[in-house]
Structures are given as structure tokens and as C-alpha cells.
Amino acid sequence: MLRHALHRVALAVPVMFGVLLIGFMLMQIVPTDPATVRAGPTATQEVVAAIRAELGLDKPIWVQFGLYLGRLAQGDLGVSIINNMPVTQELATTIGPTVELMFASLLWSIPLGIFLGTVAAYWRGSLLDRAIMAVSVAGVSVPVFFLGLVLIWFVGFQWQLLPFTGREGPLWTWEGIRAIILPALTLGGVLVGPVARMTRTAVVDTLSADHVRTARAKGLNERLVVLRHALRNALIPVVTLIGLQIGFLLGGAVVTETIFSWPGVGRLAVGAILSADFPLAQGTIIVLSAGFILVNLIVDLLYAVLDPRVRQG
């Protein structure tokens, strides 16, 4: 188990390096000059050149990348071009709300998806199965921004049931919970469909497995047969899918945070990119990618928890 974990962590290192490299390169391709942005529209050529030298932008690209890595190793992500705040400080205040939103979204969508998929699989071919699958296909096809806007329009604006602009407090307060409901419904809504479909496929598979027949032959009731012997085994592929989907969820978080003015990393990233704030944009990319790598690491470890063959193999 420990060896498995160390192996996975070791594999994450080159991936993270690739992310840093690509993130850095992307910022080089963008046709905006950060020094010009920083200097402002009225600055002279000399001022722009001085700022360029100050930011190290006059050096060759690979030197810039080396310096960048060196600073990164010391926890220095640079300074925001727009407001001169350290990027780490900006990120520190936004990571919390993003993690909060992700957690609140997963908290309801994964159990619901697994429940719907299992129900559909158990009564496969029935009307209930078809209804669940129709809803999840619809769920897969609805873009995040559309679902968000519909919720804002009806629940937030027309019926005035819930707030829809920004975070109103930590999750242990009543206001905090009310404010997170709509963003979490929007972001989690993307996940229910895929999880339900994958669960259905996996449970249909395991329900016809030999060991499920054994479980019935032992005289177990259907609840135990389904939960312990079909769903429990089906979770292995389902967890893999959830790990992959969380990548999309991070993308969805960018959209959701923007339309709900949620003060998270996603909204920060959009703002940074739109205003050509390179150090800040790079910082958000690093955080979002590291989040994705971390989630996949957790999925890999969960794998070992769920499947003894991985644990001891």
C-alpha cells in the first residue's frame, strides 16, 4: 500500500513539471506585452524597456523559465501586474472558496449519481431505468453556464428563494450555506449524468457476475447482494471516471465562479487572463493543475482501498 502510494506520488512530479512548462509557454505565445500593460497607455519607449528589464522579459526564454522555476521553488509566484499584490497572497484567499464549492458540488452529485445509476441498473429495461437515463443524457448535454443562468433566473431572480451573487460567509453559517446552494447545484449538475451512466453500466456488469450468483445462493437479501456484491465491486470503475470528470469540474468551476461572482481561483483566473496579468494567470494555472493532479492521486489511492488486488499486487 505504501509502495503503491509512493509510486503514484513519484509519477506526479514529471506531470507537474510539464504543467509548469506548458503554462509558461502559453504565456509567451499570448500577443500582449506585459511590460506595455504595466507601463500604461501613456508611457514612453524608455519606460517600457526599463520595466521589461525589471521583469526579466529581455532575457532569452529558457533563462526566463529557469528564473521562474527558481522563484517558484522559494514559493515566490511573482507580483500581480495589475495591483502589485503578491500572487501567492491573491491565491491564498481564493483557494478556500474554490475548495468549498467543489466539496459542496461533489457532496450531493456523486451520491445522487451513484444512487440513480444503481437503481437504473437493478431495474434495467424498465420505465424507471429509461427515465433516469434520459435525464442523465440531458444532464450531460446541458452546458454549465446554461444551467447556472436558468437557476439564477428562476430560483434567484424570479422567485427570490436564494442568493446568487458571491459568497456570503463560511459554510458553518446559515448565510454561507444559502449562498453556496445555487453554485453547487450548477457545478454538481454537470457530474450527476456521467456518474449515473457509468454506475449503471458497471452495476449491470457486476450484477451478472458469478460472485453475485454465489451471494444469492448463500441466501443474502437483495439489499446486501446489490450493495455489498454488485455496487461495491462496480465502484472501482466509477471512481476512475469520477477522477477524470473532476478535471472537467475544474473547468466548470471557472464558468460557475464567474457567473455567480464566487470569489474563487476560477474567477481569479478569468480576470487575470482578460487583463493580461501574466504572473497571476500563471499562478492560477498552477493551482488548478495541482488540484487536478492531487485529485487523481487521491483516486489512485482510493483504487487501492477499493481493490485488494491493487493493494497487494
Partner 1 sequence: MTGTAEPLLRIEGLRTVFRTHGGEIAAVDGVDLSVPRGRTLGIVGESGCGKSVLSLSVMRLVAHPGRVAAGRVLLEGRDLLQLSAAEMRDVRGSQVAMIFQEPMTSLNPVHTVGFQITEAMRAHDPRASRAELRDRAIEALKRVRIPAPERRFEEYPHLLSGGMRQRVMIAMALACRPKLLIADEPTTALDVTVQAQILDLLRDLQQETGMSIILITHDLGVVAEMADEVAVMYAGRVVERAAAGAVFDDPMHPYTLGLLGSVPRLDEERETLLAIEGSVPPPFALPRGCRFHPRCPFAVEDCKAEPPPLRAIAPGHEAACLRAPVERLAA
Cell 465562479, residue located: 257
What's the closest the beta carbon of residue 168 comes to partner 1, in angstroms? Answer: 43
Nearer to partner 1, 74 or 312 (CB): 312
> Which of 233, 245, 284, 296 contacts partner 1 by CB under 8 A?
233
Interface residues for partner 1 in 74-113 (CB under 8 A)?
none
Q: Which residues 158-187 are close enough to bind partner 1 by CB under 8 A?
A: none
Indicate whether 232 belongs to the interface with partner 1 (CB under 8 A).
yes
Q: Which stretch binds partner 1 (CB under 8 A): 150-158, 173-181, 217-225, 267-275?
A: 217-225
Least distance in Å: CB of 235 to partner 1?
9
Residue 130 is a binding residue for partner 1 (CB under 8 A): no
Which among 34-42, 71-79, 206-214, 288-296 is the span making contact with partner 1, rule CB under 8 A? 206-214
- Tell me how far, at minimum, the Cβ of 130 lies from partner 1, in Å: 17
CA 295 vs CA 46, 91, 246, 276: distances in Å: 47, 19, 8, 29
Residues 6+ apart with CB under 8 A from 301: 4, 5, 8
Q: Is 125 left (phi over 0), alpha (psi -120 to 50) or beta?
A: left
Residue closer to partner 1 (CB basis): 17 or 211:
211
Q: How far is the CB of 241 from partner 1 (least distance, A)?
A: 18
* Contact call for residues 301 and 8 (beta carbons, < 8 A): yes
- The answer to whether residues 19 and 285 touch, using CB atoms and an 8 Å cutoff, is yes
Burial of 256 (0-12, 13-18, 19+ CB in 10 A): buried
Binding of partner 1 by 214 (CB under 8 A): yes
Q: Is 46 in the site for partner 1 (CB under 8 A)?
A: no
Contact indicator for 138, 193 with CB cutoff of 8 Å: yes
> What is the per-residue DSSP string for 89-129?
HHHHHHHHHHHHHHHHHHHHHHHHHHHHHHHHHHTTTSHHH
Nearer Cβ to partner 1 (35/207): 207
Candidate segments 17-25, 56-64, 165-173, 205-213, binder of partner 1 by CB under 8 A: 205-213
Q: Does 220 interact with partner 1 (rule: CB under 8 A)?
A: yes
Only one of the segments 84-92, 104-112, 211-219, 284-292 lies at the binding site for partner 1 (rule: CB under 8 A); that segment is 211-219
Other residues' Cβ atoms within 10 Å of the Cβ of residue 124: 15
Which of 228, 224, 227, 230 minimizes the C-alpha distance to 208?
Answer: 230
Number of residues that bind partner 1 (CB under 8 A): 24
Say if residue 218 is exposed, middle or buried (CB neighbours under 10 Å; 0-12, 13-18, 19+). Answer: exposed
d(CA 128, CA 113): 15
Q: Is 216 in the site for partner 1 (CB under 8 A)?
A: yes
Per CB under 8 A, the segment of 163-171, 267-275, 286-294, 302-310 that binds partner 1 is: 302-310
Strand partners, 79: 86
> Binding partner 1 by CB under 8 A: which of 40, 99, 213, 227?
213
Query: What residues line the site for partner 1 (CB under 8 A)?
Result: 208-211, 213-221, 224, 228-229, 232-233, 236, 306-309, 312
